[in-house]
Amino acid sequence: MASREFPKTYLTFEGRKVVDGKKRQYWVQDATEDMFQEIEDLIVTKFVGDEPTTKYMNCLDDPVSLQEFRVLWAKVLQEKHTIVCLTKDDQNNTKLAGFNVLTESKADEKVDYPATGECAKKLFTIFKWIEAQRDFHTEFKVPRIMKALGLFVLPGYRGEGLGERILEAREYICRYLGFPATLTAFTSIISQKLAARVGFKDFYCIDYEELGRIDKAMHIPDIHNHTKTMKYMYKIYD
């Protein structure tokens, strides 16, 4: 793209809750550099405690992994593909309500995630193994796609339908930037249902218990009590 509007607003909508006689107004736009630090902080303090794989690995108790996650996400944010959901508070200040960290994946690019923290090593081992099972680029003949490394809605804004609307907005940024498809690992039954609701289809699925049987290094204790299956899901933009 010769000239990109940045930041660009992709979607505006009302929340579901009525507070003081009105609904909160939201919009989804590109994340700007002044937001990166807050997003990084939320990832290593809140997101890893909510997202099932990192929650059941007890990643919040692994400072080495948390630092490695921060470095990885900081690098991805610099791509400037990440989108955020924003709103205004009662004083008309702009507040971050949610985000979806997005990253470009190229067919001829081999991505490695070196790690020394126990949690980070296990997580990257799992994702590397799963991504080796099927090659989306080859099967769908697409040279570049958009992937995601985390969808998060801040606790104070949950119940407003933000997760679904952020996933909807991904289509707009992908079309705007010329990505023909998106592929994401949805690790929670909640996000899997949201993704299916907005048109994502299953690409590769595997039960968490099966991962542990294949290799003890991929075993995540008790995660099946929350979500049975990890799903890689995709959407093609015609």
- Rounded to a whole number of angstroms, the CA Rg of the chain reads 18
Give the chain's largest Cα–Cα span.
54
Beta carbons within 10 angstroms of residue 217's beta carbon = 12
Domain extents in the chain: 9-236
Position 143 scores a pLDDT of: 96
Q: Which distant-in-sequence residues (6+ apart) come within 8 Å of 26 by Cβ?
A: 12, 13, 14, 15, 85, 86, 87, 97, 160, 162, 165
- For the chain, what percent of residues have pLDDT higher than 70? 99
Cα 56 to chain center, whole Å? 18
Q: Is the pLDDT of residue 145 over 70?
A: yes
Specify the residue for token string 């679904």.
Answer: 164
Report pLDDT for 114: 81
Length of the chain equals: 238
Calculate mean pLDDT across residues 17-40. Answer: 96
Burial annotation 3-33 (CB, 10 A radius, 16+ → b, else e): eeeebeebbebebeeeeeeeebebbbbbbee
- Tokens matching residue 57: 């690995």
Q: What six digits make up the tokens of 60?
A: 């919040």
The per-residue pLDDT for 167 is 97
Candidates 68, 5, 52; CA nearest to 32 is 5
Q: Residue type for 218, please?
A: M
Mean pLDDT to the nearest integer, 112-125: 92
Q: Which residue has the tokens 């020394």?
A: 116
Give the pLDDT of residue 111. Answer: 75
β-partners of residue 102 are 148
Inter-residue contact 224 to 157 (CB < 8 Å): no
Q: Residues 90, 20: contact at Cβ < 8 Å?
A: no
What's the average model confidence in pLDDT over 188-196? 97
Contact 84, 151 (CB under 8 A): no
Distance CA 193, CA 86 (A): 23
- Taking the model in full, what pTM does it have? 0.96
* Phi, psi of 146, rounded to the nearest 5 degrees: -100, 130
Tell me the fold of 9-236. Aminopeptidase (3.40.630)
In this structure, which amino acid lies at residue 62?
A: D
pLDDT for the residue numbered 11: 97
pLDDT for position 2? 59
The answer, yes or no, to whether residue 75 has pLDDT greater than 60, is: yes
